Amino acid sequence: MIHKFKWTRYIGLFVLGIIYLIVIPLIWGHSSFILNIAITASIFSIAALGVWICFKVGLMNMGQSIFLALGGYCTAILSVKLGLSFWLCLPISGILAAIVGLFLGSVTRWLKGFYFSILTFVLNMAMKQILMISDFTGGASGIRNVARPNSVSIGGLTIIPQFNGDNKLPYYFLAAVLLIITVIVIWRLTTCPIGRMTDALCQNDKLAASVGINIVKYRLISICTSSFLAGISGAFFVGYTTVIYPITYTTTESIYLPIYCLFGGVNYIIGPILGAFFFQAVFPFLSILHDYQAIIYALIMIVVIRWLPNGIISLRFRRKKVAE
């Protein structure tokens, strides 16, 4: 029965992947509106998966915008001031964010729960103020005219075409590939011994420490991975929009990312993705109710937390139990 359930789950994920990579571009490939939602949701899914990794070790990361900003500004500065290609800026931004995450994780290695959340939240606010007053990052005016992803050729054969603002399909496929790679890597991490260690930390860190699990080591791994994913996401957004401003990276985004995880289902790897796609899909339609948008989001989360504490994905498992 368990073996059958696993195969059913894998087939379902495969079908979703086919829809994501083939069906959506075929049907809505000429709709900039739909593609923009899908691109934004895909990249926010990657950043939300970083927050989800922190959840796996019992940490509530409320400062993911710090690393989004680091990745974005790293790409913008390297591209505009040094003329580096986007394809070099992308991994460099992720690595820089991971190094900063390692440093912050080392400094805060014994903090957990409420204290860790508050510290990351405050650091997020401090980051925004630093970016606002720093001449190196362009201050409040930010950095503009960031180069788009350029074409890549091998032996005269163009492997990746030049990206442009008129055609969003290349951005969609790039975002899709990045998200799929992220899901595969994180899934592999959660199913290997590292994943079992992080599960133990999430359930009871004191008990995990008593049996010899290195709490600091696995928390640092989670924080570095989370920071790397945020850095990649921030770099992509700069290449997509070609501009970056400090006001983009507010505490609001750092709050929304954990909400995506909780809404979709924090116990499942697909949870943050469901949450990101749902909120990014409804956001344009709720923007006309700007004054009440936060209230509507709050009501949605109250309903989910009250009746679906394991997220909307738990509806599927509830139906299975009722059927049995």
312 against 45, higher pLDDT: 45
Q: What pLDDT is stored for residue 1 in this prediction?
A: 45
Q: Per-residue pLDDT for 50 more than 90?
A: yes
CA distance 272 to 9: 17
User: What is the sign of the dihedral through the CA atoms of 36, 168, 272 and 110?
Assistant: negative
User: Are 277 and 179 in contact, with CB atoms under 8 Å apart?
Assistant: no
User: Are 231 and 95 in contact, with CB atoms under 8 Å apart?
Assistant: yes
pLDDT in tens, 17-33: 778 888 888 888 888 99
110 against 26, higher pLDDT: 26
Q: Per-residue pLDDT for 323 more than 50?
A: no
- CA–CA distance from 201 to each of 58, 180, 191, 310 (Å)? 7, 26, 15, 19
Q: What is the mean pLDDT of the chain?
A: 87
Number of residues that this document lists for the chain: 324
User: Are 271 and 284 in contact, with CB atoms under 8 Å apart?
Assistant: no
Q: What pLDDT is stored for residue 296 in this prediction?
A: 84
Please report where in the chains the tokens 């075929």 appear, as a residue.
26
CA distance 189 to 57: 13
User: Are 52 and 64 in contact, with CB atoms under 8 Å apart?
Assistant: no
E strand or H helix at 157: strand 157-160
Whole-prediction pTM value? Answer: 0.91
pLDDT in tens, 211-270: 888 888 999 999 999 999 999 999 999 999 999 999 888 888 888 999 999 999 988 899
Q: Which of 5-14, 149-158, 239-248 is the most confident on average? A: 239-248
Q: Residues 153-170: what's their mean pLDDT?
A: 82
Instruction: Please give the angle made by the CA atoms of 234, 287 and 300, to the nearest 5 degrees.
Output: 85
